[in-house]
Structure 1
Amino acid sequence: MPEGKHRTMYYPINEDSARRAKEMNSFSDYRPGSATEEYRHSVDEAAALAERQKARVDPMYHEKIDRLLDTYARKLAENMNEGFAIDARVPSILIAGGSNFPVRKKEKQNAARDRNMDEWRQVQGLLDKIRSTGMGGISADDPRAIAKLESKLASLESTQEKMKAVNAYYCKHKTLDGCPDISEDVIRKLESGMASSWHYEDKPYPSWALSNNNAEIRRVKERIALLTRQKEEGFTGWGFDGGRVEANTADNRLQIFFDEKPDEEARLALKSNGFRWAPSVGAWQRQLNDNAIYAADKLDCIRPLTGESPSELQRRVRVEQQTDVSEPEPIPDKDNVEEVEQDGGMQMY
């Protein structure tokens, strides 16, 4: 079990293996606990990086950053322990001497060291993932994509209103001193920008800045609308001659399952239309969206058994679903309704 230190998770380092590795490759004595100390120092630096990144990004990304940090701590421990085990397999020629030196075993050890180094580089790559978390785009594959886009939209709209308020303040006062919407540091930066040669408009935020931000607002709104519609309407799978297509909403994939391996022509058609073979699920697949359906329209090998195209099938099913939901209660046949007078009114039976 890993030990905890604040929010940083440490995993065990095999000190015995580290000591044997030292003895196999050096005349100097092993300092007890030094391997664990080195490991924890690396994890502490990663934890500091994670905290800096969390301070920069929206709180919705904090859990992912913590998971990446824990993965880094675990995989680094595994990599170091494996490295110690490899180093302890065969002694250095300086320790063992040249007589009857196991050259073949040493070659295998060196090959294992190379693989271990490649794994170490992959572990260090997790630090780059921590640095980039929350800084890039939002994938439709993300189950929280709509929530993240809504948060991004709120931030963009807030920025738009702030820029407009600052411009209005400057237009009225011809100075940014005392502007309640921005800090002193921002005021100084805006004033410096206005004094530069490329700033042609007499306002802190030029028209292009508001226009670009507004365009991004529209783009994010369109993505939210598209993902919301796709989530509400959904997609349907179908059967075809030789297999089936599934709309896997959980994994956000349109998946094609063939009863037998498709021929080379079919495989080339699948690849050219964005489908890739996924051995883990035994299917050809691509991201589940309207573009995937349009791509499926081009593939005769997976045409629905009904004879319609995949996009026609989606439209028909959606219309049928809407009809089922909105169909009103049947009105009784008036010929089967007996009207009797009761309490001055009409009562139906």
Structure 2
Amino acid sequence: MNFNKELIDRANENSLTGKRGDSIVSDAEIDLKRFDEIFQNTDDWTEEQKDLFDKRRHAYIELLNQYYGELLSRNANHVPWYVAGPSKYNVKKSDKQIDGIRRTMVEMEEKISRFIENTKKMIKKLEPPEKTIEKISKGKWVYGQAIASDDPFVLEKLYAKKEFQESYQEKMKLANKDARKKGENPPYPAYELSNNRQNLKATNDRIAKIEKMRKTKCAEIPFDGGIIVPDINDCRVKIIFDEKPEVEVRELLKKNAFHWSPKNKAWQRQLTANALAVAEQILTRKN
């Protein structure tokens, strides 16, 4: 990173401790170190993922230069009353400058957080499917992270998740049984087995639902002014109009969870039997 030495010195001079400028530079270095620590496990990355990380790291450094540079500039140009002296001190100007410093700090924190999260997603997106599936089968997925129904490998990932949940359930049961035989307290509490059992049931239910949907013959449904397309590959019910629908129709679609997709040039929502029935009811005027 590259910060203006003059701004650092002036920010130091304008602070009570005489170290404000140095502190800002130190915070920037800490943010860069934090970024590197978050993305330090690169051993199983592909070359494509590593190349992307290098580009994102360079962009992150530019981001730090931009915001911390602005923060230095604002602090360098703000002379507090205890440095300038109270005589004829422009309090209104000072308050405005302080507000600017605060806004820059808030904006900077938000921008940095978004940048890091987007980098995680971009690197994750480049992960080979087989590697993701292997991680899921070993329980190495982020807690609460959903497997999207429109993921091309949704079933493979769900079966991998099921495999882990089943093996984990068996592991807990055997460990508890062994502990009881030895007169020891079971290492896994009952609620943990119960929670995993419920999660396993939810995984099995999703698998059954998706497999049923894929086996179902979904025919296109024409209506006056367009067509309803059950897209199994994209896992979406797509409504394609010949012309822009009337406001009344658009409002009905929105109320029923359909949204406009500029990419697909269609109104759509997740593919389910209910979504198909609702679309048909709205557009063919069936009661």
What range is the shorter-chain TM-score in?
Answer: 0.5 to 0.7
CA–CA distance in 2 between the matches of 1:269 and 1:42? 47
1:263 corresponds to: 246
- For 2:186, the aligned partner's letter is L
Shift of the 175–235 alpha-carbon distance from structure 1 to 2, 3 Å rule, reads same
Deviation digits for residues 274-326 of structure 1 (CA, Å, limit 9, x no counterpart): 112334554322223334223313312xx3xxx999xxxxxxxxxxxxxxxxx
Give the percent of matched residue pairs that are identical in Structure 1 and Structure 2.
26
1:190 equivalent in alignment to 2:165 = no
Higher RCO, 1 vs 2 (CA within 8 Å, ≥6 residues apart): 2
* 1:152 has 2:192 as partner: no
Letter of the structure 2 residue corresponding to residue 225 of structure 1: A
Structure 2 distance, partners of 1:133, 1:74, is 28
TM-score (normalizing by structure 1): 0.50
| Equivalent AA in structure 1 for residue 60 of structure 2 | L
Is 2:27 the counterpart of 1:44?
no
Give the C-alpha shift of residue 149 in structure 1: 1.7
- Structure-2 change in CA distance of 1:51 and 1:89 (3 Å): closer
> CA separation of 1:213/1:23 partners in 2, compared to 1, >3 Å: closer, same or farther?
closer
What CA distance in whole angstroms lies between the structure 1 residues aligned with 2:212 and 2:262?
Answer: 30
The equivalent position to 2:208 in structure 1, one of 202, 209, 225, is: 225
The residue that corresponds to 1:294 in the other structure is 277
What do you get for the CA RMSD once the two structures are aligned? 5.4
Equivalents in 1 of 2:249, 2:189: separation in Å? Answer: 55
Alpha-carbon distance, 1:234 to partner? 6.9
Amino acid at match of 1:222: D
> Partner of 2:268: helix, strand, or coil?
strand
Name the TM-score, length of structure 2 as normaliser: 0.59
In the alignment, residue 182 of structure 2 is paired with which amino acid?
T
Instruction: Report the counterpart of residue 148 of structure 2 in structure 1.
Output: 139
Alpha-carbon shift at residue 273 of structure 1 (Å) = 0.8
Offset at 1:154? 1.3
Structure 2 runs not aligned, ≥5 long? 15-22, 85-95, 121-139
Structure 1: tracts of 5 or more residues without a match: 1-12, 29-33, 98-106, 177-186, 192-203, 310-349
Of 222, 240, 254, the match for 2:223:
240
Q: In structure 2, the residue corresponding to 1:138 is in which secondary structure?
A: coil
| Distance apart, 1:269 and its partner CA | 0.7
* Bigger Rg, which one: 1
Number of equivalences: 252
CA contact (8 A) 2:60 2:115 kept: no
Query: How far apart are the structure 2 equivalents of 1:78 and 1:257?
Result: 43
Matching of residues 1-349 of structure 1 within 5 Å:
13=1, 15=2, 18-19=4-5, 22=8, 39=28, 41-50=30-39, 73=57, 76-83=60-67, 92=77, 94=79, 114=103, 117-118=106-107, 120-125=109-114, 134-136=142-144, 137-169=146-178, 174-175=181-182, 190=186, 206=190, 210=193, 212-231=195-214, 233=216, 235-248=218-231, 251-300=234-283, 303=284
Secondary structure of 1:299's counterpart equals helix
Report Cα offsets for 1:75-127 as digits up to 9, x if no partner: 53343243367566998265xx9xxxxxxxxx8xx879947843641431565
